[in-house]
Amino acid sequence: MASKRKKKNKKLSPTLLLFCVIISVSVLIFAITLQGLLHPVTTEEVNHSEDEFISELLPYAKKLQEQYGILPSIILGQAILESDWGKSELSQNYYNLFGMKASASDKKIGLHTKEYEKGECIEITADFKVYDSWESSMTDHTLLFVNGVSWNPTLYQPVLQAKNYKEAAQALQTAGYATDPTYASKIIEVIETYQLSQYDQ
């Protein structure tokens, strides 16, 4: 009788093993499916997030245009490029949408950043301004164009006087807003990809 039981167990073992494998695979597939259902990453979701970011900044960008003449496409384009759609540490934690550097008297935070020196990209630690809101950041960004800098109050006037976003983007690069030698083309690409110039009317 003992030998028969042993023989019977040998026949059942592969079946039990296959059953366990099927169950394990099923559980794994269910877990992956559930994760996808709980947080699916879709093109629609990404686009919706981008639309929300633009919609959140647009009303105040239009207000700044009415007050100072700055093109909303430049505000939005720079905000998208500099803050990675408001997802950067600087924009999320410190409300700095434009990578605005801090002076000695400003409330600031030191963060790692990339700069171009003699055509080479290097990483440095720089002091950036800290704001109370994205609107405060947008106001300060526009006032930089209006008031310029201590050594040249008219440095950014060409940005305000530009007839279109292409001229404004080139004026930003010429004035030295960023050290990236391709800064103007990157701003233009963002504006054209997301059709931001429609808001300049």
Contacts of 30 (CB under 8 A, 6+ apart): none
The answer to whether residue 140 is catalytic is: yes
The catalytic residue among 56, 127, 140, 189 is 140
SS3 at position 153: coil
The catalytic residue among 45, 51, 52, 115 is 115
Dihedral sign of CA atoms 129, 64, 50, 194 in order: negative
Residues for the chain: how many in total? Answer: 201
Cβ atoms of 183 and 172 closer than 8 Å: yes
d(CA 197, CA 201): 8
Cβ atoms of 192 and 200 closer than 8 Å: no
d(CA 143, CA 129): 14
The answer to whether residue 52 is catalytic is: no
Q: Which residues are catalytic?
A: 115, 140
